């Protein structure tokens, strides 16, 4: 049977989502390896967990989705409680349930929704989820430039090159900035698309940060898409990024 669940985790405690092997040996503690360890103890058999998104080291999630296959049935509420009791305190699972055999956490997903939070000034409470960028930003220019990302584009220039022949075309349906309520200095990007490449969100937010602080003029997104821009750019750090939801 195939089962799926959602999970939440603090990325600062892990070296990303994806298992990392060297000579067949697990190198780092990742979300995937930690959950597979907890399920192994609870189930007394090994499973392979597949996630909807391979978040980088330091990137967080509230709405990651994953699936696994298992011989036989399980009591989902009991298993969910057991896994949460066994696993690292920086990760938990929710809504464990059976799903159709053709469901795939990654390939069945229609969209991913991220939030990125940054603040020009110092932050204490919740600072592990915020990029303290220490610049006064022109939010009007940033919002206007963000619209250049909307629609279907080849985002190869906004990612870490894979050279694997796979498509680098993505469709962005939302890229919106808002001040966080009651904290007017804290800014949050809402970013939604059908798929995202390796470090794509951080590359996009970093470029908008450069526009907001006056390093680049508006129109730089179009220049990068066309291949006209070759300069150095800022890559936003991982701690401000949260995978909020995956849509199916």
What is the C-alpha separation between 56 and 11, in angstroms, rounded? 8
CA distance 57 to 44: 29
Q: Which two tokens stand for residue 175?
A: 């890229």
- Continuous segment of H or E residues that includes residue 202: helix 200-212
Active-site residue, selected from the candidate residues 56, 88, 102, 210 = 56
| Distance in angstroms (rounded) separating the CA atoms of residues 64 and 52 | 7
Return d(Cα 67, Cα 136) in angstroms, integer: 43
Helix 200-212 crosses helix 139-146 at what angle (to 10 degrees)? Answer: 140
Active site residue 56: yes
135 touches 201 (CB < 8 A): no
- List, by residue number, the catalytic residues: 56
């Amino acid at each position: 049977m195939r089962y799926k669940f959602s999970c939440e985790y603090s990325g600062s405690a892990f070296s990303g989502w994806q298992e990392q092997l060297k000579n067949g040996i697990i190198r780092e503690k990742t979300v995937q390896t930690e959950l597979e360890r907890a399920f192994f103890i609870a189930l007394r058999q090994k499973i392979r967990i597949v996630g909807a998104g391979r978040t980088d080291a330091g990137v967080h999630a509230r709405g990651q989705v994953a699936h696994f296959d298992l011989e036989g049935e399980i009591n989902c509420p009991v298993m969910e409680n057991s896994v949460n009791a066994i696993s690292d305190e920086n990760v938990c699972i929710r809504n464990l349930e059976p799903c159709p055999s053709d469901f795939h956490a990654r390939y069945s997903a229609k969209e991913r929704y991220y939030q990125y939070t940054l603040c020009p000034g110092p932050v204490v409470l919740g600072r592990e989820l915020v990029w303290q960028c220490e610049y006064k930003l022109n939010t009007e220019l940033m919002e206007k430039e963000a619209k250049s990302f909307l629609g279907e584009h080849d985002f190869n220039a906004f990612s870490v090159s894979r050279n694997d022949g796979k498509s680098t075309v993505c469709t962005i349906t939302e890229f919106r900035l808002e001040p966080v309520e009651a904290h007017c200095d804290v800014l949050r990007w809402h970013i939604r698309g059908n798929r995202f490449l390796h470090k794509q969100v951080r590359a996009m937010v970093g470029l908008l940060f450069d526009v907001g602080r006056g390093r680049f003029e508006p129109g730089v997104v179009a220049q990068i898409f066309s291949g006209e821009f070759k300069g150095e750019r800022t890559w936003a750090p991982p701690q401000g990024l949260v995978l909020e939801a995956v849509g199916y």
